[in-house]
A and B are shown apart, each in its own frame.
Chain A
Amino acid sequence: MTDEQRSSQPPQGQFDPDYYVQWQPPVIPPGQGRRVVRIAIVFLSGVLVLIALIALWRSNLIALPGGRGDIVGRVAAPAEGAVVFTGTDFTEIPVAADGSFIVRGVPSGRQILYVAFAGTAWEVAVDVPNQGTVDVGVITVQPTAEPVQR
Chain B
Amino acid sequence: MKRLDWGKTGQSMTEITILLALVAAVAISGLMLTGEGTRDALCRAASAFGSTCGDLFRDDFSNLNNWTIQNGRWQIREGRLCIDGPGRIYRSFDRSDYVIDVSLARLTRGNGYGLFFRDSGGPKFNGYSFQYDPGYGRGAFIIRKWINGNELAVPIARVEAPAGYDWYGSDRTVRLEVRGNTFVASVDGQPVVQARDSSFNQGGIGFRSWDASSACFDDVSVRRP
- Name which of A9-17, A24-32, A71-79, A128-136 contacts chain B: A24-32
A143 to chain B, nearest CB (A): 9
Contact indicator B151/A34 (Cβ below 8 Å):
no
A28 to B13, CA, bound (A): 12
Given the known interface contacts A37-B19, A148-B136, A149-B137, the answer about A54 and B33 at a Cβ–Cβ threshold of 8 Å is yes
In the complex, whether A145 has a CB less than 8 A from a CB of chain B is yes
A123 to B29, CA, bound (A): 32
Contact indicator A41/B22 (Cβ below 8 Å):
yes
Contact indicator B19/A121 (Cβ below 8 Å):
no
**Number of residues in B with C-beta < 8 Å to the partner?**
32
Residue from A31, A51, A87, A121 in contact with B151 in the complex, judged by beta carbons closer than 8 Å: A121
Contact indicator A51/B30 (Cβ below 8 Å):
yes
Range, interface on chain A? 35 or more
A85 to B136, CA, bound (A): 27
Contact indicator B154/A48 (Cβ below 8 Å):
no
A-B contact count (CB 8 A): 96
Residues in A neighbouring B6, C-beta threshold 8 A: 38
Taken residue by residue from 80 to 115, chain A's Cβ proximity to chain B (1 for < 8 Å, 0 otherwise) reads as: 000001010010100000000000000000000010
In the complex, whether A8 has a CB less than 8 A from a CB of chain B is no
A79 to chain B, nearest CB (A): 16
Interface residues in B1-60 (C-beta closer than 8 Å to A): 6, 9-11, 15-16, 18-19, 22-23, 25-26, 29-30, 33
In the complex, whether A120 has a CB less than 8 A from a CB of chain B is yes
In the complex, whether A62 has a CB less than 8 A from a CB of chain B is no
Residues in A neighbouring B76, C-beta threshold 8 A: none
Residues in A neighbouring B30, C-beta threshold 8 A: 47, 51
Taken residue by residue from 50 to 75, chain A's Cβ proximity to chain B (1 for < 8 Å, 0 otherwise) reads as: 01101100000000000000000000
Residues in B neighbouring A47, C-beta threshold 8 A: 26, 30
In the complex, whether B63 has a CB less than 8 A from a CB of chain A is no
Given the known interface contacts A34-B10, A48-B26, the answer about A146 and B136 at a Cβ–Cβ threshold of 8 Å is yes
User: Which residues of chain B have a CB within 8 Å of any CB of chain A?
Assistant: 6, 9-11, 15-16, 18-19, 22-23, 25-26, 29-30, 33, 111, 124, 126, 135-138, 147-154, 199, 211
